[in-house]
Amino acid sequence: MAKAITLAKAYLSEQIPTTGAFILSAYFPDESAYAIYEITAYHIVKDIFRAGEEMIFKTDGNRTYILVEPASYAQKYIEPVNREATKSIPYRFNEMTIHATHKGEKLMVPLEPTFLYSTFTVLDREKQGFAYVFFPTPDVYNAMRSFISDSLSKDCGIEKTDAKKGTDLLIDTIKKFTIWKE
């Protein structure tokens, strides 16, 4: 059975798996419908420490995103990599699958994950989002699929069918993570 706990609780109770896990964080800037979900996987962590809202992991990892762009977003013509810091992800339009929802939002998912060398940071923004650790159980992909789809629907107002489509695209990219392969 899949297990997930908040990143803060896992850190404070020393339950972050050192052998590897998935970290799912979401950020909702300016309390708008714009959102960035970040999924990071790591394997064999050497050290973890906290600095304010940042959780720093000394290990390699893989990362991908799903960007939720509301229909009313005024700067939709700007590549996500070139947007202001709180609304950017390191991808261009041609490096992503873009799903247009029935209500006009866009769900943007990278085609390929990035590889993170030696150290990476996860932001644990408790006031404008959340961060969870998903333990690598056999059903972890189904658990993340369900959690992300529900969050897209409830937290971002995405219709359930569109939330499922966006989440399926995201899980396809997550399954391309190479961190687990020796």
Closest CA to 64 of 19, 117, 6, 23: 23
DSSP code, position 176 = T
Structural domain boundaries in the chain: 4-174
Closest CA to 55 of 9, 89, 87: 9
In order of 77, 113, 137, the CA distances from 80 in angstroms are 9, 15, 32
∠5-8-10 over CA atoms, to 5°? 50
Give the pLDDT mean for 75-104.
95
Among 123-127, 143-147, 161-165, 172-176, the least confident range: 123-127
Give the pLDDT mean for 175-181.
88
Tokens of 96: 């992503």
Global pTM? 0.94
